[in-house]
Amino acid sequence: MNTQFKLIFTTCKNEAEARMLGKALVEKKLAACVNILPAMSSIYMWEGEVKEMTEVKMLVKTKTEKMNDVFLTIKAMHSYEVPEIQVIDITTGNLAYFNWMDEVLH
């Protein structure tokens, strides 16, 4: 299988923001599915200081051809100045699931 499918990770400040962003991505047919994981603690460096806050993680399932539009949507709608956007190539998995993604993201 080629890498026509992507898994994009991002974090949001809370579940409400993640739901708003996730719904927009699915409604625009930029993502076949978005999973929102429960609150987690994040520790990171920002502007020279160690910060700690609660965030939620989003897993965005999409196709390679839609990836840049996903990036633009996240950046436009996100409350963070520098939102996390990390991409993993999906190289194998359930063919029936990928067929469903193809159908949804036509």
* pLDDT tens sequence for the chain (106 residues): 556 999 999 999 999 999 999 999 999 999 999 999 999 999 999 999 999 999 999 999 999 999 999 999 999 999 999 999 999 999 999 999 999 999 999 8
| Type of residue at 52 | E
d(CA 103, CA 83): 29
Q: Which two tokens stand for residue 40?
A: 């987690």
What's residue 56's pLDDT?
A: 98
pTM across the whole model: 0.93
What's residue 2's pLDDT?
A: 57
Beta strands in 1-106 (DSSP E): 5-12, 33-46, 49-63, 86-90
Report the relative pairing of strands 5-12 and 49-63 from DSSP bridges: antiparallel
Its sign, for the CA torsion 97, 40, 12, 52, is negative
What's residue 34's pLDDT?
A: 98
What's residue 106's pLDDT?
A: 87
If you count them, how many residues does the chain have? Answer: 106
| Type of residue at 90 | I
The CATH T-level fold of domain 5-104 is Alpha-Beta Plaits (3.30.70)
